[in-house]
Chain A
Amino acid sequence: MSGELVIDVQNLNKSFGDKHVVKDFSLQVRRGEIYGFLGPNGSGKTTSIRMLCGLLKPDSGLGTCLGHDLIRETAAIKREVGYMTQRFSLWEDLSIRQNLDFIARMYGMKDRAEAVSAAIRQLGLEARQDQVAGALSGGWKQRLALAACLLHRPQLLLLDEPTAGVDPVARRDFWQEIHALAAHGVSVLVSTHYMDEAERCHRLAYIAYGKLLATGTPDEVLHLFPLVTWEVSGPSEKLTALSAQLQARPGVVHVTAFGHTLHVTGEDAAALEQAIAPYRNEPGLKWKHAESILEDVFIHLMAKAPDNFS
């Protein structure tokens, strides 16, 4: 994909006290792209996003967001970016309509009343528009928050774990809307913990311990690290014991349990085969080659990260 860069930042750093939360963070996002932002809890995702929308001032580094300087032109960035916070941050004691109306006023929208009515219609909340936002369920709060940050028709969406705690149907609807927006040229940077969501992104970035570890399309990230994976299935009590034994073997990077199967992942095919050799012919166990999936890559990255960057 090519096109103009809506986010282009280099070497952003941010510390809180003596905690270096984000280290040399660089990121390029193109127009119309859905950019997935992955990483474990506390890896600096939220801090990075807040720096991108002008809520935090980077200690060092430079860059632009929608063509505006990240340090000096935060006011312009705020006007054009839609930011959805990780925690629901609309006013729980205002009604749905009052919340949207307030946001529309803050962005100085000319067609405020129509825009708010249209948003409520689109949400399908006409009947409940006068209820207080605090009375909504988690899924509805998330939809309302998205509607609020789309209200001023931003060119760039920064979504901080928008689907955390939302049911699968609402998540699927949410992603359909994100793709529709991207088709209209809106760029989206979305942080998530879900692997299925990562696969729905055009590009991914993986961050751990404040450090960007990998970027690329889902396919590229998958092949960035040549991992070999074996899948073994059998009775669960056997698998539990096996999992602990395999974890300790050289050549095994990690073992992941999936219901009635285990994924045994290693970096080197020969070493891995040697590691599992003693268990290959055990009765009751069925071994087969498996495709490595994104999750294997991320678990691998997460496991490696602290050694390299602590």
Chain B
Amino acid sequence: MSERFSWSRWVGIIIKEFIQLSRDRLTFGMIIGIPVIQLLLFGYAINADPKQLPTAVLAADSSEYSRTLVAALQTSGYFRIDRYAASEAEVDTLLSRGDVQFAITIPENFGRKLVRGERPVLLIEADATDPSATGNAIAALGQLASVALARDLRGPLGDLVPSASPVDVRVHRRYNPEGVTAYNIVPGLIGVILTLTMVLMTGLAMTRERERGTFENLLSTPALPVEVMTGKIVPYILIGLIQVTLIFIAALLLFEVPMQGSALLLYGVMLLFIAANLTLGITFSSLARNQLQAMQMTFFFFLPSILLSGFMFPFRGMPEWAQWVGSALPLTHFLVLVRGIMLKGNGLAELWPQMWPIAVFMLAVIAIGLRFYKRTLD
């Protein structure tokens, strides 16, 4: 029997989807609104290098050295000293209530002990309930004391200045020398937003037909599963491209993310990623019985995508099994690709190892989708 792919049927399904999409103003608005709002919100809000953290000081010593130290802490930018505590008990209260992130205790006779070369203790207590909030500030403390005091320890005190390290350690922060969070977050947001909107929109596409009863009509026509599935995907590819263009423009203009690589290559990679997410959505759609189930499946996929892909937390910090899970997700590879193109200027040769896993994911998913697409109402 001539059960062959028909371009005319396929075009018919695409036209129908476009018309329905254009009638659904709210959805259409969300397609444009979601990326813009999320980008502005998260792009400006998320900061992995928090500064100006509230700090309390308990100074039992009033020598010039302790004043120098406190001033140095403030100029590092990480500590904002807005409390002076009178007792250890007060320090405890401030920390436990969360009023301050850090408490600095300078013990009695700090200056005197320092001059005598007794290596006095400088106690810094941090509220480390959220390690990422305190991590960078604590890291900055390491050299702070010796550098700050170097100027004060002159003349006869000169031998208290620590001798130079036997190794000259040089750090080059390549691709993002200033450590701007937005350079990392904004390209990542392209992937996160695409994952959510693409999977969700197509996830609802087929279940909507089923809930409205129109699926029965569609099934009673000669339309083939592959025509219906791919025909429903095409309009969303276009929507995905509109979304990434919006985000891309905002990334360049608002967040001034550098664009080192080829824009054409970037679009090629995004197209691949969009297609992978859409096939997943349409497969969810043919597995789910109603729109609610399709929605639940989407979120079941969305959370690991955000948490295990390296968007929120460093991918290499996860145990190996979690990295395996993460490697199965298209977003993981997409993040490496986008950051690679935009920040590092990578070319196809460097990108390919991250591209084929997305393609494999897509083929596997579409095979499952076609397998479970119901040709009947059973």
Give the number of chain A interface residues (Cβ < 8 Å).
32
Beta-carbon contact of A102 and B1 below 8 Å: no
Chain A residues with CB under 8 Å of B328's CB are none
Our count of residue pairs bridging A and B at CB distance below 8 angstroms stands at 77
Q: How far is the CA of A101 from the CA of B377 in the complex (A)?
A: 24
Beta-carbon contact of B222 and A75 below 8 Å: yes
B264-306 CB mask vs A (1 if < 8 Å, else 0) is: 0000000000000000000000000000000000000000000
Beta-carbon contact of B221 and A85 below 8 Å: no
Chain B residues with CB under 8 Å of A81's CB are 220
Most buried by A among B218, B220, B223, B376: B220
A100-141 CB mask vs B (1 if < 8 Å, else 0) is: 011101111000000000000000000000001000000000
Answer whether residue B9 sits at the interface, using C-beta atoms and an 8 A cutoff.
Answer: yes
**Which of B11-19, B73-81, B165-173, B175-183 contacts its partner?**
B11-19
A65-94 CB mask vs B (1 if < 8 Å, else 0) is: 000000001111011010101011111111
Q: How far is the CA of A108 from the CA of B220 in the complex (A)?
A: 14
Q: B376 contacts which of A56, A75, A89 (Cβ < 8 Å)?
A: A56
- Main SS at interface, chain B: helix
Answer whether residue A53 sits at the interface, using C-beta atoms and an 8 A cutoff.
Answer: yes
Looking at the assembled complex, report how far the CB atom of B84 sits from the nearest CB atom of chain A, in whole angstroms: 66
Beta-carbon contact of A56 and B377 below 8 Å: yes
Beta-carbon contact of A54 and B376 below 8 Å: yes
Chain B residues with CB under 8 Å of A76's CB are 1
Q: How far is the CA of A73 from the CA of B222 in the complex (A)?
A: 11
Q: How far is the CA of A98 from the CA of B18 in the complex (A)?
A: 12
Answer whether residue A55 sits at the interface, using C-beta atoms and an 8 A cutoff.
Answer: yes
Beta-carbon contact of B217 and A90 below 8 Å: yes
Q: How far is the CA of A55 from the CA of B210 in the complex (A)?
A: 14
Beta-carbon contact of B12 and A93 below 8 Å: no
Chain A residues with CB under 8 Å of B143's CB are none
**Contact A108 B1, CB 8 Å, known A53-B220, A93-B20, A103-B221:** no
Q: How far is the CA of A98 from the CA of B376 in the complex (A)?
A: 25
**Contact A106 B216, CB 8 Å, known A56-B376, A76-B1:** no
Q: How far is the CA of A93 from the CA of B17 in the complex (A)?
A: 11
Chain A residues with CB under 8 Å of B375's CB are 74
Chain A residues with CB under 8 Å of B378's CB are 56-57
Beta-carbon contact of B9 and A106 below 8 Å: yes
Tell me the chain B residues, 186-215 only, with Cβ under 8 Å from chain A: 212-214
Chain A residues with CB under 8 Å of B377's CB are 50, 55-56
Chain B residues with CB under 8 Å of A93's CB are 19-20, 23-24
Q: Give residues in B with beta carbon < 8 Å to A.
A: 1, 3, 6, 8-9, 11-12, 15-16, 19-20, 23-24, 212-214, 216-223, 375-378
